[in-house]
């Protein structure tokens, strides 16, 4: 019998994060991988690495979150499949019990979560705009040929940040190019971008919401010192950036898994080896009616293990029988 622990998995658009947490809620190890458009392969690779890192781990429960939570849940046999908001709030509360505001910016979406007396009382997620999220910053870093890890530090060196229109990713980019052609320094442009994105975030998500401290800043973008500095300036408040800022979603999923199995349920985890058996995913458009649902299919060892995405249940219920 190895060390009992809980596995949390967050498969997002940009990164795939895995954490192993012990029974006392202590983080044993964590992994931060790039999803690179291949969620299943990345997840299997991550599980393989975790299994090698801590060979004596006995997984008692698994939770998945992130935009590929359903798919990941099928691949590993998850006990809990939870949305990102609940997972992030859970992790934030476990690290800073009196947290009142969580700012989270990930690869494809950004969120604000308000917590009062340990209860999530309000939240907002960016609706129809991707400006200010990790993938946009990624793309700009790539265009300016600055490594993403240096991008934030570059902003800190700015002397007088330029004003960038941060309302929309497309306009922000053309505005940045305009400023660059007008002769502004890269540092000033990058710092201006950070400020624009923070303004946009606060105007879009935090509108009418009372931001009280402690404020936690988490998600992949929390690594960006420029963004953190811009938030501090704009809010006039100190930010707490947890050490595990990049894997908070996964940590939350692990905590939720622990809560679920604490009710005495055995885990559905298929094991590190089981999860690595070849999985093939594919999709088709059902021609059964004018709805034309996109059905996703997961095959394991040549057998269909799950189908989802249909509205009528014609495919998803059938796969349960398999």
Exposed, middle or buried by CB within 10 Å (0-12, 13-18, 19+), for 235? middle
CB nearer other proteins, residue 123 or residue 231: 123
Residue 145 touching other proteins (CB under 8 A): no
User: Which of positions 282-311 make contact with other proteins (CB under 8 A)?
Assistant: 289-292, 311
User: Which of positions 96-115 make contact with other proteins (CB under 8 A)?
Assistant: 109
Of residues 27, 33, 96, 120, which one binds other proteins by CB under 8 A? 120
Instruction: Answer for the pair 84, 17: CB distance below 8 angstroms, yes or no.
Output: no
Closest CA to 113 of 85, 93, 132, 136: 85
User: Which of positions 207-266 make contact with other proteins (CB under 8 A)?
Assistant: 207-209
CB nearer other proteins, residue 133 or residue 162: 133
Distances (CA, A) of 45 to 10, 64, 111, 276: 14, 16, 28, 8
Sign of CA dihedral 170, 176, 178, 180: negative
Instruction: Answer for the pair 83, 112: CB distance below 8 angstroms, yes or no.
Output: no
CB nearer other proteins, residue 203 or residue 312: 312
CB nearer other proteins, residue 176 or residue 256: 256
Residue 321 touching other proteins (CB under 8 A): no
CB nearer other proteins, residue 225 or residue 286: 286
Q: Report d(CA 169, CA 129) in Å as an integer.
A: 8
Instruction: Answer for the pair 269, 62: CB distance below 8 angstroms, yes or no.
Output: yes
Q: Report d(CA 85, CA 116) in Å as an integer.
A: 15
Of residues 27, 28, 96, 125, which one binds other proteins by CB under 8 A? 125
Of residues 34, 121, 163, 278, which one binds other proteins by CB under 8 A? 121
Q: Report d(CA 63, CA 255) in Å as an integer.
A: 8
Smallest separation, CB 42 to other proteins (Å): 18
Of residues 67, 133, 200, 267, which one binds other proteins by CB under 8 A? 67
Smallest separation, CB 111 to other proteins (Å): 9
Smallest separation, CB 120 to other proteins (Å): 5
Smallest separation, CB 109 to other proteins (Å): 7
Residue 188 touching other proteins (CB under 8 A): no
Q: Report d(CA 242, CA 19) in Å as an integer.
A: 15
Query: Would you put residue 292 in left (φ > 0), alpha (ψ -120 to 50) or beta?
Result: left
Instruction: Answer for the pair 85, 125: CB distance below 8 angstroms, yes or no.
Output: yes
Residue 82 touching other proteins (CB under 8 A): yes
Smallest separation, CB 13 to other proteins (Å): 10
Phi, psi dihedrals of residue 68, rounded to the nearest 5°: -105, 30
Residue 37 touching other proteins (CB under 8 A): no
Of residues 127, 181, 238, 263, which one binds other proteins by CB under 8 A? 127
Smallest separation, CB 150 to other proteins (Å): 30
Of residues 7, 47, 85, 240, which one binds other proteins by CB under 8 A? 85
Identify each DSSP E strand in 202-269 by its residue range: 215-218, 239-240
Q: What is the Cα Rg of the chain in Å? A: 21
Q: Report d(CA 267, CA 80) in Å as an integer.
A: 10
Smallest separation, CB 85 to other proteins (Å): 4
- Give the interface with other proteins as residue ranges (CB under 8 A): 67, 82-86, 109, 116-123, 125, 127-128, 207-209, 289-292, 311-313, 317
């Amino acid at each position: 019998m190895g060390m009992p622990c809980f596995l949390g998995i967050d498969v997002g658009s940009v990164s795939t994060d895995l954490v192993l947490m012990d029974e006392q809620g202590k983080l044993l190890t964590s992994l931060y991988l790039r999803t690179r458009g291949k969620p299943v392969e990345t997840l299997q690779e991550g599980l393989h690495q975790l299994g090698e890192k801590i060979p004596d781990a006995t997984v008692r429960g698994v939770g998945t979150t992130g935009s590929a939570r359903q798919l990941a849940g099928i691949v590993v046999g998850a006990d809990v499949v939870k949305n990102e908001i609940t997972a992030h709030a859970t992790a934030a509360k476990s690290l800073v019990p009196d947290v009142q505001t969580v700012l989270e910016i990930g690869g494809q979406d950004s969120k604000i979560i308000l917590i009062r007396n340990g209860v999530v009382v309000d939240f907002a997620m960016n609706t129809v705009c991707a400006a200010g999220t990790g993938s946009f910053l990624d793309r700009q870093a790539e265009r300016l040929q600055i490594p993403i890890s240096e991008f934030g530090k570059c902003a800190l060196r700015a002397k007088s940040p330029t004003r960038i229109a941060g309302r929309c990713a497309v306009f922000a980019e053309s505005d940045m190019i305009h400023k660059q052609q007008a002769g502004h320094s890269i540092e000033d442009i990058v710092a201006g971008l950070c400020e624009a994105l923070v303004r946009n975030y606060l105007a879009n998500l935090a509108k009418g919401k009372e931001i009280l401290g402690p404020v936690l800043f988490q998600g992949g973008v929390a690594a960006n010192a420029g963004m953190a500095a811009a938030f501090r300036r704009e809010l006039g408040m100190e930010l707490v950036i947890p050490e595990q800022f990049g894997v908070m979603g996964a940590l939350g999923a692990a905590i939720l898994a622990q809560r679920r199995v604490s009710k005495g349920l055995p885990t559905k985890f298929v094991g590190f080896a089981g999860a690595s058996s070849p999985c093939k995913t594919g999709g088709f458009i059902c021609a059964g009616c004018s709805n034309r649902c996109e059905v996703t299919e997961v095959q394991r060892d040549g057998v269909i293990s799950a189908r989802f995405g249909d509205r009528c249940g014609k495919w998803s219920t059938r796969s349960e029988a398999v």
